[in-house]
């Protein structure tokens, strides 16, 4: 009936008010987007001027870059055994750090989910803890742990584990929050305990999501593990810094190729695992 009135040019009062509200909301969104884009553009121009770039260095810097790149070829695999051993150490640091974070995050995520947390105090404590772990970069964590436990793989594992906690608690909790509230209410109505709701109701529904996020985080940590090695947290990153400091550019290129192959293979394996998870 209301569509007939609209076609004839006649609008019902309540329908007209609703259309007006939608139009006003759309105009507000358009204005917000316009002003946001304008502010970003103005800030971009301001940054170009305020940072005072010396554009002439782009030309000289580019020529120096290609000169240095020429010295990197052919790659020098003389110390391949030590470099591959360092690459394996980077993988070990990433896997151990990620697994530790997965285990801890698995328990904390249910306490940090809005629809499942026992009380608001625990909820905001877990969310705040995750935000703090996430806000501090992994490199800073590595430097802090190097000071406290010394240089080596342990500092790298602790840094990756702490930083991974921040992300995994957040994404795990969000996966739990996406579960239909009707399921939780139905289980509570049957007298199920909090643990029974988690294990029998929530976990089967979020298990594949947890697996997918865990694999994704492992990929990230493997990239991080190569960078953390540059500050002394173990792994192949330290070998790259050593080669660059000694101006062994051909060896540095070989190390870079090993890092690329390692990350590429891990991504390939991760994508295959994700495809298998989706089919579950």
Q: How many CA atoms lie within 13 A of 181 on its CB side?
A: 4
pLDDT at 70 over 70: yes
Cα(151)–Cα(142) distance, integer angstroms: 9
Mean pLDDT, range 29-45, rounded to an integer: 89
Do 176 and 109 contact (CB within 8 A), yes or no?
A: yes
Cα(247)–Cα(250) distance, integer angstroms: 9
pLDDT band at 68 (very low <50, low <70, confident <90, very high): confident
Give the burial class of 139: count Cβ atoms within 10 A of its Cβ; 0-12 exposed, 13-18 middle, 19 or more buried: middle
SS (H, E, C) the chain: CHHHHHHCCCCCHHHHHHHHHHHHHHHHHHHHHHHHHHHHHHHHHHHHHHCCCCCHHHHHHHHHHHHHHHHCCCCCCCCHHHHHHHHHHHHHHHHHHHHHHHHHHHHHHHHCCCCCCCCHHHHHHHHHHHHHHHHCCHHHHHHHHHHHHCCCHHHHHHHHHHHHHHHHHHHHHHHHHCCCHHHHHHHHHCCCCHHHHHHHHHHHHHHHHHHHHHHHHHHHHHHHHHHHHHHCCCCHHHHHHHHHHCCCHHHHHHHHHHHHHHHHHHHHHHHHHHHHHHCC
**154 closest CA partner among 256, 243, 225:** 225
**204 closest CA partner among 187, 221, 217:** 187
Residue 188 has a pLDDT of 82
Mean pLDDT, range 38-53, rounded to an integer: 87
Residue 1 has a pLDDT of 47
213-264 pLDDT tens trace: 888 898 888 888 888 877 777 788 888 888 888 888 888 899 889 888 888 8
Residue 12 has a pLDDT of 52
**269 closest CA partner among 95, 80, 82:** 95
pLDDT band at 5 (very low <50, low <70, confident <90, very high): very low
Cα(14)–Cα(45) distance, integer angstroms: 47
Residue 14 has a pLDDT of 53
173-182 pLDDT tens trace: 999 888 887 8
């Amino acid at each position: 009936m209301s569509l007939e009135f609209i076609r004839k040019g006649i609008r019902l009062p309540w329908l007209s008010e609703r259309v007006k509200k939608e139009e006003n909301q759309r105009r507000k969104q358009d204005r917000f987007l316009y002003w946001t884009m304008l502010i970003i553009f103005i800030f971009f121009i301001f940054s170009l001027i305020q940072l005072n770039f010396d554009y002439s260095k782009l030309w000289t810097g580019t020529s120096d870059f290609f000169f240095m790149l020429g010295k990197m070829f052919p790659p020098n695999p003389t110390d391949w055994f030590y470099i591959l051993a360092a690459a394996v150490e980077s993988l070990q640091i990433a896997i151990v750090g990620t697994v530790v974070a997965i285990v801890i995050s698995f328990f904390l995520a249910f306490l940090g989910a809005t629809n499942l947390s026992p009380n608001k105090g625990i909820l905001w404590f877990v969310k705040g803890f995750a935000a703090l772990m996430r806000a501090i970069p992994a490199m800073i964590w590595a430097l802090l742990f190097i000071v406290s436990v010394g240089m080596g793989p342990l500092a790298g594992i602790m840094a990756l584990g702490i930083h991974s906690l921040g992300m995994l608690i957040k994404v795990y909790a969000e996966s739990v929050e996406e579960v239909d509230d009707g399921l939780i209410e139905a289980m509570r109505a049957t007298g199920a305990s909090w643990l029974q709701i988690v294990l029998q109701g929530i976990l089967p529904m979020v298990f594949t999501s947890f697996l997918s996020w865990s694999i994704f985080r492992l990929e990230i940590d493997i990239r991080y593990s190569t960078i953390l090695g540059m500050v002394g947290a173990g792994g192949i990153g330290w070998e790259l810094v050593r080669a660059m400091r000694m101006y062994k550019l051909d060896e540095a290129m070989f190390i870079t190729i090993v890092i690329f192959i390692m990350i590429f293979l891990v991504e390939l394996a991760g994508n295959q695992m994700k495809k298998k998870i989706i089919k579950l």
